[in-house]
């Protein structure tokens, strides 16, 4: 069985570290382990001594289960310095039709505002919560509708850049690439704290695109359909 058949999820907070392995084909969890792990995830007191040892042990166990060399993981993180910022952005549309480029422009504009105002933060999630067309609220934003103006409410979830950077270095020391970062607090909130004993399973579902209001940030060079491909799947 090739490595591409598995997704590896690791959840880290100040007290515990969990690791889970999922089959990509059907989402079945074939391995889950939770360990006590004291980790300081505040920017002024970062400490990963316990984390490094337990991470190495769990990755070795996971490799025995899969029979494959693990070189990338999805990291779920719970840090006391998680920051959420909400913005509302509007565009005067002059009775023209709404198209994807209009919406992408608004999201990009809001994203740049966040990056400029909070230069020491890394955006982890972008979630669109409301759409208003001529002051009428829509759950899904219809395309090809003419309007005078439209606006969207966007929520950004961010982590301190230094925390992310240090964790990337830690995982890199063990030849592991962090291919995705998920805010565990966001996972709990989305599933209304009904996540069960395996928090990684809920993270796997969220990473699979279950929340159609979330914008997936895909580099243009990797995705011909555009930077916000998943977002455009929610249009009527």
Record the pTM. Answer: 0.88
Does 230 lie in the same domain as 149?
yes
Does 50 lie in the same domain as 22?
yes
Residue 216 lies in a domain: no
Q: What is the dihedral of CA 105, 106, 112, 117, to 10 degrees?
A: 170
Q: Which of 114, 101, 112 is nearest to 228 (CA)?
A: 101
60, 165 contact by CB (below 8 A): no
Q: Which of 202, 206, 222, 225 is nearest to 214 (CA)?
A: 206
Q: In this predicted model, what pLDDT tens digit does every residue of 93-130 receive, in sequence order?
A: 889 988 888 888 889 999 999 999 999 999 999 999 88
Does 165 lie in the same domain as 146?
no
Does 89 lie in the same domain as 68?
no
Does 88 lie in the same domain as 152?
yes
Q: In this predicted model, what pLDDT tens digit does every residue of 161-190 receive, in sequence order?
A: 999 999 999 999 999 999 999 999 999 999
Does 149 lie in the same domain as 36?
no
Does 166 lie in the same domain as 67?
yes
């Amino acid at each position: 069985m090739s490595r591409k058949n598995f997704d590896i999820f690791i959840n880290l907070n100040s007290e515990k570290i969990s690791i889970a392995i999922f089959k990509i084909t059907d989402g079945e969890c074939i391995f889950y382990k939770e360990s006590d792990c004291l980790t300081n995830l505040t920017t002024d007191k970062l400490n990963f001594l316990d984390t490094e040892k337990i991470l190495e042990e769990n990755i070795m166990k996971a490799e025995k289960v899969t029979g494959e060399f693990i070189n990338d993981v999805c990291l779920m993180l719970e840090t006391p310095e998680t920051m959420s910022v909400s913005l509302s952005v509007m565009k005067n549309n002059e009775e023209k039709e709404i198209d994807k480029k209009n919406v992408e422009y608004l999201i990009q504009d809001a994203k740049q505002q966040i990056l400029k105002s909070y230069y020491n933060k890394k955006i982890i999630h972008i979630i669109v919560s409301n759409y208003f067309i001529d002051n009428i609220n829509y759950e899904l934003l219809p395309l090809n509708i003419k309007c005078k103006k439209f606006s969207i409410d966007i929520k950004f979830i961010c982590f301190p850049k230094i925390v992310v950077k240090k964790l990337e270095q830690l995982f890199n020391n063990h030849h592991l690439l962090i291919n995705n970062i998920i805010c565990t607090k966001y996972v709990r909130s989305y599933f209304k704290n009904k996540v069960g004993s395996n928090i990684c399973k809920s993270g796997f579902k969220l990473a699979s695109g279950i929340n159609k209001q979330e914008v997936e940030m895909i580099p243009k060079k990797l995705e011909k359909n555009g930077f916000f491909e998943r977002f455009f799947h929610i249009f009527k």
